[in-house]
Amino acid sequence: MDLKTATAIRRLRLVSAPEAISFLLLLVCSVLKRTTDFNAVPVMGAVHGALFVLYVIFWADAWNRAKWSLKTAALYFVLSVLPAGGFFAERKLRRETEDAVIASRARKEGVVGA
């Protein structure tokens, strides 16, 4: 994995958890809006919208650079629209990056023909 691909995946990983948190907070704010006088939906909607747009931009960049299959790219996109899906995406992306680093080091040291 080259540096630009690793950076693209890292950006996607770093925005996935905040995007999931903002989604859950937006859901809580929506419930509070309907049940109390508290209305933070406009603020949380804007925050979540900005984070979601960043996620989609970083997702497209990572898909392009990492050459993911359509199935893998679709999985990461579906995780972005599910509540708490960003947490699973972050974990899976971290594992994918760590595996790529291990394989790269093994190839460099000539341990395996990976």
The 8-class DSSP code of residue 42 comes to H
> Would you place residue 53 in the very low, low, confident or very high pLDDT band (cuts 50, 70, 90)?
very high
Q: For residue 43, what is the enclosing H or E element?
A: helix 41-66
Q: How far apart (Å, rounded) are the C-alpha atoms in residues 6 and 63? A: 11
| Among the ranges given (16-25, 30-39, 104-113), the one the predictor scored with the smallest mean pLDDT | 104-113
C-alpha neighbours within 13 Å on the C-beta side of residue 87 = 7
What is the reported pTM? 0.85
For the chain, what is the domain count? 1
pLDDT, one tens digit per residue, over 16-31 is: 999 999 999 999 999 9
- In 3D space, the residue among 59, 55, 62 whose CA is nearest the CA of residue 18 turns out to be 55
For residue 52, what are the CA distances in angstroms to 12, 78, 84, 96, 101?
A: 11, 12, 13, 22, 28
- Give residue 113's pLDDT: 56
How would residue 6 be classed by pLDDT, with cut points 50, 70 and 90?
confident
Range of the domain at 93: 3-113
Query: Which residues neighbour 61 within 8 Å (Cβ) at sequence distance 6 or greater?
Result: 8, 11, 12
- Give the per-residue pLDDT at 112: 62
Separation of CA 73 from chain center:
11
Give mean pLDDT, residues 4-27: 93
Quote the percentage of the chain above a pLDDT of 90: 75
H/E stretch holding 69 reads none
